[in-house]
Amino acid sequence: MKQKLTLLLLLFTVLTVANCKKEPLLITGSETMHTLLNVVAAGYAKKNPNVEVTVQGGGSFEGIEKLFDAKTDIAASSRPLTPEEQTQFERKGRFENVLIGYDGIAVVVNPANSVSKLTLEQISKIFSGEIKDWSQVGGKPGPIHVILRNDKSGTAAYFETHILRQRDLGEKEYQTSKKKEFTNDSKVVADNDEMADLIEKDTASVGFMGMGSAQIQNKGKVKAVPYSKTGKDPFVEPNIQNVSERKYKLSRGLYLFYLSDRGKKIDEFITYITSEEGQTMVLKSGYLRSTLSTVEVEATKP
């Protein structure tokens, strides 16, 4: 009788553990969005204790590649898909593309650096190696040490096109600069935290990262430099209010990509992050919520 009770108890324990096993949901991609997604995932887990959300970085390109290879449920990206990528995903199934927020890209230096403002052209010349000394942009004399994100980064891809190659200055300037490359003297890092750690230790260094990462996750380690597109327009600090009011021009959308016929858990997470509660968490993480931006765009129309 005792043996039967022991066996029944063991069977009950096994069944209980099996029933309590959480369903995994994997999100992979943008380092810029990493902390944001962890914050949202924690809120989601409280309402959905049967789902375990794991957020992995690696960069926007990494997320897109893994989604295409069915190695992740959702890809996080700080850049939109190329037309070729869009076509490839549409061939795989019911492809969905959702904008969850906006982020400003901040040019960052050591807090002790005396440089107080930079124009797009100056930044382009710094990262291409044409400007090599801080005294050329109003700082104390000394060599500039450029730090870059790796080629998996959506932020780096955006920065390369819009700043390094000057697309934001217009088609004429872009055609002149479209073959410009990052300086060979730069140091390449895997993520924003590694970049912030290096900049904190080196007063001569400069890099770029998402606004939320610069002003919340790495606050105190780096200083975001006020930016002006032409030098004739105002120099503006990258923060939520300035991006929201369209004063800070160096900003882009944050996206989640997924195939909607791959499970209820994916659709439910997307519903949560685009809900009022999810969007509030996006805002608290240091990014501009996507729904707020839409309201403001409509409000500014004549």
pLDDT tens per residue across span 148-190: 998 888 889 999 999 999 999 999 999 999 999 999 999 999 8
Q: Is 297 a residue whose pLDDT tops 70?
A: no
Please name every residue paired with 206 in a beta bridge, in sequence order, or none if there are none.
109, 146
Q: Is 21 a residue whose pLDDT tops 90?
A: no
pLDDT digits (tens, 9 = 90+) for 64-119: 999 999 999 999 999 899 899 999 988 887 899 999 998 889 999 999 999 999 99
Question: What predicted TM-score, i.e. pTM, was given to this entire model?
Answer: 0.78
* pLDDT score recorded for residue 200: 97
Residue ranges covered by each domain of the chain: 23-102+252-289, 103-251
* pLDDT score recorded for residue 229: 93
Q: Is 9 a residue whose pLDDT tops 50?
A: no
Q: Is 147 a residue whose pLDDT tops 50?
A: yes
Report in angstroms the alpha-carbon separations of 214 from 27, 109, 135.
Answer: 22, 10, 24
Q: Pick one of 3.40.50.300, 3.40.630.30, 3.40.190.10, 2.60.300.12 as the CATH number of 103-251.
A: 3.40.190.10
* pLDDT score recorded for residue 296: 37
**83-92, 130-139, 239-248: lowest mean pLDDT where?**
239-248
Q: Is 217 a residue whose pLDDT tops 80?
A: yes
* pLDDT score recorded for residue 14: 43
Q: Is 294 a residue whose pLDDT tops 90?
A: no
Q: Is 12 a residue whose pLDDT tops 70?
A: no
**C-alpha 81, offset from chain centre:** 14
Rounded mean pLDDT, 194-211:
96
- Report phi then psi at 108, rounded to 5: -125, 145
Which residues lie below 8 Å from residue 55, measured CB to CB, with a gap of 6+? 27, 28, 34, 37, 38, 41, 76
Q: Pick one of 3.40.190.10, 2.160.10.10, 3.40.1160.10, 1.25.40.10 as the CATH number of 23-102+252-289.
A: 3.40.190.10
More confident residue, 294 or 32: 32
Cβ count near 226 (within 10 Å): 17
* pLDDT score recorded for residue 3: 54
Please determine whether the domains at 23-102+252-289 and 103-251 fall in the same fold group of CATH.
yes
CA–CA separation, 225 and 240 (whole Å): 15
